[in-house]
Amino acid sequence: MLKSHYHSSVQARISLLFNANKAYDRQIIEGIGEFFHASQCDWDIYIEEDFSARHFNNNILSSSGIIADFDDEEMARQLSQIAVPVVGVGGSYSDRQNYPPVPYVATDNQALVAAALDHLIEKGIEHFAFYGLTADAGKRWAQERASAFVRLTTDMSYPGLVYEGMVTDSHTWESAQLKLAEWLKTLPPQTGIIAVTDARARHILQTCEYNGIAVPESLCVIGIDNEELTGYLSRISLSSVMQGTRKMGFEAAKLLDALLSERRISADPVIIPPESVIARQSTDYRSIVDTMVVRAMWFIRKNACRGITVEHVLEAIGTSRSNLDKKFITEMDMSIHKVIQVEKLARAKELLKTTTLPVAEISRLCGYNTPQYFCATFQHELAMTPVQYRSSQGSVQRQ
């Protein structure tokens, strides 16, 4: 077994063993960096950006201290057997015996699922489902989240349904989406689906769009991670539970600092709750009874920014304006024309908040005839210009 080479009088060489290509891991690293800057500890930090357990070498194993991703089972196994001070970061476990024999900081898997479930309940959803991962994917946290979902919904009047789906790659993507579509079509209307990650939630949004399933009118979807990239790859913006990843990194660095300073620490894992639920379109649910309105809303959400008019909606649904407008006033308290404008404006607000695209480009992408008309409409509805709105949201301005 290797011994630690750390001495308080010299700079400590710290190895961070994470996959910096993943947003979750990068946020953990950011939290470690926050501690590093706040404490002014004398650390020389090494990161191997695309680390895996097969890359272990004597330089890493002879570090003064290590903070590592313990969701990687092989990494956890190897690092639990060395004498170098190690802090693990990963998911929580319902069974205490599953925690590794090292200081450990965990995201609270049950609390993540509970936060998503509470959000759906607050929206008025009464039926629930979970889209997870198969056990052979080797993601222990995914199994823990699925188990938490089953525990939390067991006592409800309508028990939650679990679908694990397939592990997807370029070869299995099409068949996985077909099977997912088959499952989605078996769900009762107005089911709220909790996806084990934002990536899996995106699978649902894509499948729903391709199969004409209205989100959020027919199905609501919420993910876990608040992964920024997902927002750019889905037409419907995704609600998500934000994990306390930066705090996890901070607490892990704090634990390692205590180990290196030979201060006593608790043997109990540090469990970090989620930060918040970020509510977006995919759970913007309101109970709509009329199936014609549900179909029309799906068409509008998909095409509002393509310059559609009321006539396009009527043609797609196959009904008269007087009939559909009457149904919209009853169900939505708005006319068809007003709903189209609301959808366009909502998309424009999202782009102003989350991108640095010029206002003129946002106007074009949202289906407005001219930037001038867009700005006039925006100011009429929100009593501020697009530039002022962007500034109020703390976004980077670019004209």
* Per-residue confidence (pLDDT) for residue 83, from 0 to 100: 85
- In this chain, the answer to whether the domains covering 12-106+245-274 and 109-243+279-283 adopt an identical fold is yes
CATH of domain 291-392: 1.10.10.60
What is the pLDDT, as a whole number, of residue 233?
Answer: 63
CA distances from 21 to 50, 102, 138 (A): 7, 25, 19
Residue 395 pLDDT exceeds 60: no
Would you tell me which CATH number, out of the four given (3.30.70.250, 1.10.240.10, 3.40.50.2300, 3.30.70.890), belongs to the domain 12-106+245-274? 3.40.50.2300
pLDDT band at 3 (very low <50, low <70, confident <90, very high): very low
Cα 276 to Cα 2: distance, rounded to the nearest angstrom: 41
Instruction: Compute the half-sphere exposure of residue 94: CA atoms within 13 Å on the CB side of its CA.
Output: 16
pLDDT band at 8 (very low <50, low <70, confident <90, very high): very low
Which residue from 219, 188, 184, 24 is spatially nearest to 112, judged by alpha carbons? Answer: 24
Asked if the model's pLDDT at residue 232 lies above 90, the reply is: no
- CB–CB of 187/160 below 8 Å? no
pLDDT of 53 above 60: no
Give the model's pLDDT for residue 321. 93
Classify residue 371 as exposed, middle or buried by CB count within 10 Å of its CB (0-12, 13-18, 19+). Answer: middle
Contact call for residues 123 and 283 (beta carbons, < 8 A):
yes
pTM: 0.79
Averaging pLDDT over each range in 20-29, 120-129, 233-242, which range is the top one? 120-129
What is the Cβ-side half-sphere exposure of residue 78, based on CA atoms within 13 angstroms? 17
Name the more confident of 233 and 360. 360
Give residue-wise pLDDT tens across range 238-294.
999 999 999 999 999 999 999 999 899 998 999 999 999 999 889 988 777 788 988
Please give the residue that has the higher pLDDT: either 375 or 396. 375
Instruction: Give per-residue pLDDT as tens, 130-146.
Output: 999 998 888 999 999 99
pLDDT at residue number 298: 84
At the top level of CATH, the class of 109-243+279-283 is: alpha beta
Between these two residues, 398 and 203, which has the higher pLDDT value?
Answer: 203
pLDDT digits 0-9 by tens, 164-188: 999 888 888 899 999 999 999 999 9
| pLDDT classification of 78: cutoffs 50, 70, 90 | confident
- State residue 9's pLDDT score: 41
Which tokens in the block code for residue 52? 């895996």
Percent of the chain having pLDDT more than 70? 92
**How high is the pLDDT of residue 332?**
87
Residue 39 scores a pLDDT above 70:
yes
Q: Which two tokens stand for residue 368?
A: 């407005």
Q: Where are the domains of the chain?
A: 12-106+245-274, 109-243+279-283, 291-392
Residue 159 pLDDT: 79
Determine the pLDDT at residue 285: 80
Which pLDDT belongs to residue 60?
78
Mean pLDDT (the chain) is 88
Residues in a beta bridge with 239: 222
